[in-house]
């Protein structure tokens, strides 16, 4: 089955995003997402 990413392909993609300066990694260093999860569970 060509065209479907495998388990290792996802890891490689994440590594490439991280090396390119993934904006979600920078955002997660500023925003505490656990607080948002708790708020969503309460609502």
Separation CA 32–CA 1 (nearest Å)? 39
- Give the rounded distance of the alpha carbon of 30 from its chain centre: 14
Q: What is the mean pLDDT of residues 32-37?
A: 84
Query: Strand, coil or helix: what is 16?
Result: helix
Angle 36-32-11 (CA atoms, 0-180°, nearest 5)?
A: 100
Residue 13 has which token pair? 């993609």
Give the pLDDT score at 40. Answer: 79
DSSP structural state of residue 4:
S
Give the pLDDT score at 4. Answer: 75
Residue-range domain boundaries for the chain: 7-42
Give the pLDDT score at 12. Answer: 87
pLDDT in tens, 5-31: 777 788 888 889 899 999 988 898 898
Continuous segment of H or E residues that includes residue 41? helix 33-42
Give the pLDDT score at 33. Answer: 85
Higher per-residue confidence, 27 vs 42: 27
């Amino acid at each position: 089955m060509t065209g479907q990413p495998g388990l290792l392909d996802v890891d490689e993609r994440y590594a490439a995003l991280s090396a390119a300066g993934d904006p979600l990694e920078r955002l997660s260093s500023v925003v505490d997402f656990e607080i948002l999860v708790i708020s969503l569970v309460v609502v």
